[in-house]
Amino acid sequence: MKFYKPEELRAGMRLAKQIYNKQGVLLYERGLVLNDQIIASVQKFGLLGVLILEPAEPLPPISAEEQEFEQLQTAYMFRLRDSLIAISKGQPAEDLSALVSDIVRRFGSINHPVTFSQTIRSSEDYNYKHAVCTAIFSAIIAHRLSLPASAMSDLITAALLADFGYLYVPREIMSKHEDDLTSIDLLSIEQYRAKALQLLKKDTNPFGLSESTFTTLTEFLQVSRKEDPKLVTASFHLNTKILMVADKYDRMTAMSLNYQPVTSVQALRHLQKQEMLYDVSIVNALSTALSILPVGQCVELSANRRAMIVSQTPGDQFHPQVLDLATNTLYDLSSPKLRGVIEVKDLMTTMDQRYNFDEKSLRHFVPDMPLQATTRRIRLRLEKARKRDAAKRARTAR
């Protein structure tokens, strides 16, 4: 499947993900073939993009757990939106604690690797859905690190409130890629985030937030939207470090306002390389908690190899046993002899191995004499068939 922006959609494409309206009601089921009317409707929703199946790609199976994840993300998003609107008006966020408890209950005790499915996001709901997914990832990581229930609740609360300030950042700034943000843009974002933290009123604490939650939110203000490898995080609270990993992973793997999502493999590789910025144990906890390289997944290996995963190595997703698709050879990537020689580079995003030619390239193609003769015979045959059909229709019309 591939990511397409709304303006890139064409009739005949098939949806790979379900589409819900702003009220969370299912509008278009996955596998649906798009037509002009549906495309026009999708473009009006303000979606950042949709995932489309390739022409010959079968509709992948979806587990009950994955389907529940998608539904919960939508439901949580609307609950969080109502809570943040209430806070912005100085009113009690009555549902916030219940939302935190629900996320902890559902995602803070999962022992098996989770297949997490990102939902489609629009420019209107991006920040809400990002906060929800960050909270879910935080709960999953916290369970792997055996955080106490109270600490996990404080973490999830902070995750839901951490991006509150982004709701006030002007659209022209939010639409920029992080590499294009100027020092003035970053200062503006920092000011809006600090202003949002003030709305939580630490002195009077009308929303009943814990000291740990305020500490995490205050420390997280130092985490710029533009990644800063020089940021010193050694003194940060453990919850802040977890939030940093969950926040960055979701920003990289979800469809965004300004860049296409990357695969879960690419995102985790990035986090692993930034050891000074992202805590290694937390990144490892996220890696083991997610099912990103299941059996049957096709992957791209180093040295331009393509393979399919046939079995996993317990506790080490990145070194499975694979079947080379070109040579039909089995490789155990956990073997000391192969470590550093053959590695999983990325997920195989397409099974289509055809070459793409543009019109300019095709002009350089000159058919040889046998091909020209074959083409002439086919044309003559088609022309005779058309004449026979025309004559048949004429006789029928009499």
Q: Give the HSE-up count for residue 187: Cα atoms under 13 Å, Cβ half-sphere.
A: 3
Mean confidence (pLDDT) of the chain: 86
Question: What is the pLDDT, as a whole number, of residue 289?
Answer: 93
Cα–Cα distance, 210 to 78 (Å, whole number): 24
Instruction: Please choose, from the candidates 124, 92, 356, the residue with its C-alpha nearest in 3D space to the C-alpha of residue 257.
Output: 124
pLDDT digits (tens, 9 = 90+) for 127-164: 888 999 999 999 999 999 999 999 999 999 999 999 88
Dihedral angle sign, alpha carbons of residues 165, 167, 173, 175: positive
Q: Any residues with CB less than 8 A from the CB of 32 and at least 6 apart, and which? A: 14, 15, 38
Pairing of strands 330-332, 344-347: unpaired
Q: How confident is the model at residue 21 (pLDDT cuts 50, 70, 90)?
A: low
pLDDT band (50, 70, 90) for residue 351? low
Question: The pTM is what?
Answer: 0.77
What are the pLDDT digits (tens) for 119-136?
Answer: 777 667 788 889 999 999
Residues 218-268: pLDDT tens digits?
999 888 777 888 888 989 999 999 999 999 999 899 876 566 788 899 999
Q: Which amino acid is at 285?
A: A
pLDDT bucket at 93, cuts 50 / 70 / 90: confident
Cα separation of 260 and 9, whole Å? Answer: 15
- CB-based burial, 163-189: b 16+ in 10 Å, e otherwise: bbbbbebeeebbeeeeeebeeebbebb
DSSP single-letter state for residue 113 = P
330-355 mean pLDDT: 81
350 or 106, which is more confident? 106
Quote the tokens at residue 26.
Answer: 């299912």
User: Mean pLDDT, to the nearest integer, of 324-328?
Assistant: 90
Q: Which helix (H) or strand (E) segment is 377 a member of?
A: helix 369-397
Query: Which residue, among 351, 295, 341, 354, has the nearest Cα to 321 in the 3D structure?
Result: 295
Reported confidence tier of residue 24, pLDDT bands at 50, 70, 90: low
**pLDDT band at 393; cut points 50, 70, 90:** confident
CB 166 within 8 A of CB 221: no
Per-residue pLDDT for 343 more than 70? yes
Check residue 22 and give its pLDDT. 59
Which of 302-319 are b and which e, b meaning 16 or more Cβ less than 10 Å from the residue's Cβ? eeebbbebeebeeeebbb
Residue 281 confidence (pLDDT) above 90: yes
Assigned CATH for 2-53: 3.90.105.10
Pick the more confident residue, 96 or 394. 96
Task: Check residue 35 and give its pLDDT.
Answer: 93
Q: In terms of DSSP H, where are the helices of 275-368?
A: 280-289, 359-362
Q: What is the share, in percent, of the chain residues with pLDDT greater than 70?
A: 94
d(CA 209, CA 161): 11
pLDDT tens profile 41-81? 888 876 767 888 888 788 877 778 887 887 788 889 889 98
Confidence of residue 166 (pLDDT cuts 50, 70, 90): confident
Sign of CA dihedral 18, 21, 27, 33: negative
pLDDT confidence of residue 356? 63
Question: Scanning the structure block, which residue is given the tokens 């010193």?
Answer: 232
pLDDT at position 366 over 80: no
pLDDT at 357 over 80: no
- Identify the top-confidence range among 11-20, 72-81, 103-112, 174-183: 103-112
Phi, psi dihedrals of residue 125, rounded to the nearest 5°: -110, 5
- The answer to whether residue 380 scores a pLDDT higher than 70 is yes
Mean pLDDT for 368-389 is 89
Look at residue 125 in the predicted model and tell me its pLDDT: 78
Q: Among 110-119, 207-216, 252-261, 266-275, name the one with the lowest average pLDDT.
A: 252-261
pLDDT at res. 182: 86
* Partner residues linked to 14 by β-bridges: 33, 53
Q: For the chain, what are the domain ranges? A: 2-53, 64-289, 298-347, 364-397
Q: Which fold has domain 64-289?
A: Hypothetical protein af1432 (1.10.3210)
